[in-house]
Amino acid sequence: MADLKDVAVIGVGATKFGENFDWGVDDMLTMACFEAMEDAKIEPEKLEAGWIGIQYPFTGFSGATLSDAIKTYDIPITHTENYCVSGLDAFRNACLAVASEQFDMVIACGVEKITDQGGRGLPTAGFGHPVQMSGLTAPSAFGLAFPRHALAFGTTKEHLAHVAVKNHFNGAVNPKAHFRREVTLEQVMKAPIISGPLGLLDCCPISDGSAAAIITRTDIAKKYRDDYVTIKGMGFAAYTNLMMYDKNFDYLAWRPTVKAAEKAYAMAGITDPPNEVDLAECHDCFTITEILNVEDLGFCKKGDGGPATAEGRFNIDGQVAINPSGGLKCFGHPIGATGVRMVYEVTKQLQGRADGRQREGAKVGMAHNLGGLGGVVCGVVILTNEK
């Protein structure tokens, strides 16, 4: 059996993210998957298996959502659902299948069509626990982390705003980003409050979109391109939907991020993350989410997330480039597509093909994907261009 480190990405594709009212699920999947196959220089007949990340039932059920779009009839295709990590979990399962040598060439993709579904914001009816999490929306659930972080470490609303300013600065030059504009600190601070302290510009948008990646073994990858990227580390963790039942839950860290990162760093042999990782696509559904995540990923000390961001340590040319794509905040967040879109960005960065937003000399990049109200599940994938 091969090893996860023998798994390579040889092609990536993504649609523009945004309010894609003109495009249906099939349209977006077709665009992303064929772009990935063209990038890998393979035909659909080459694909032996597929995984598709979708969170919401109105987007689609089952593996046939993918085969209906790209007409890969009869191969096994699995639908993965794992909250906002649905896409990165599709990628993880595809990588494990290739490492097992059951398949030589597979596709991992994700898609979500959230506009036109009839509700406002992310649908929450029938979602989550009817008693314990009654009525909490995503901004409310993540907003709960702020008062505790502020008391423990002095984090301010202005620290949060710096996350939005940085990610919009990066995403403004990204042709596929939902928003292609910068925002100022003042605009973020003055935006209408959604759920305190999170204002409109502290929240990622409701987006449609799709992304895809073609995955194979390194010995096969060499026949397709020289600049393939490989898996260096991978870790996943599921915690609980009901963290309030955990006596030790303190709102100061996302536990699944900590646990998934521990596993990924151990596999990658990384002991000093800020000096060994060049860039990270880091889950920033809300600005407070990124602040805790950069600490939990070890990119700065616990409690330093706000000041470190404000000082520019996570700018595109900082110690670690956090969200060079623009992140969920600016690039957008079609739930099931996001994890694969992170792999898309990290791959482009490691191939030196991230036009206008390139992290110079990038060798090691991370996709970090967190899901669930208040940090329930997490995936961390570390990719490298070092052979």
Q: Catalog residues that contact other proteins under the rule CB under 8 A.
A: 22-23, 27, 31, 118, 120-121, 124-126, 130-137, 139-140, 143-148, 151, 192-198, 240, 242, 244-247, 249, 251
The three-class DSSP label of residue 306 is helix
* C-alpha–C-alpha distance, residues 269 and 234, integer Å: 11
- Peptide bond preceding 197 in cis form (omega within 30 of 0): yes
Helices 287-296 and 157-171 pack at an angle, to 10 degrees, of 90
The least distance separating other proteins from the CB of residue 62, rounded to whole angstroms, comes to: 21
Instruction: Give the residue numbers marked as catalytic.
Output: 84, 333
* C-alpha–C-alpha distance, residues 294 and 170, integer Å: 17
Considering beta carbons, is residue 109 or 342 the nearer one to other proteins? 109
Q: Alpha carbon of 155 to those of 1, 232, 253, 303, 304: distances in Å?
A: 48, 33, 14, 8, 8
The least distance separating other proteins from the CB of residue 177, rounded to whole angstroms, comes to: 16
Considering beta carbons, is residue 1 or 125 the nearer one to other proteins? 125
The least distance separating other proteins from the CB of residue 203, rounded to whole angstroms, comes to: 10
Considering beta carbons, is residue 63 or 128 the nearer one to other proteins? 128
> Residue 217 belongs to what H/E stretch?
strand 209-217
The least distance separating other proteins from the CB of residue 248, rounded to whole angstroms, comes to: 10
Are the C-beta atoms of residues 76 and 20 closer than 8 Å to each other?
no
Give the tokens for residue 48. Answer: 């032996």
Considering beta carbons, is residue 44 or 123 the nearer one to other proteins? 123
The DSSP call for residue 286 is B
The three-class DSSP label of residue 174 is coil
Considering beta carbons, is residue 25 or 231 the nearer one to other proteins? 25
The least distance separating other proteins from the CB of residue 18, rounded to whole angstroms, comes to: 12
* C-alpha–C-alpha distance, residues 46 and 48, integer Å: 6
Q: Alpha carbon of 312 to those of 163, 261, 280, 306, 342: distances in Å?
A: 10, 23, 15, 10, 22
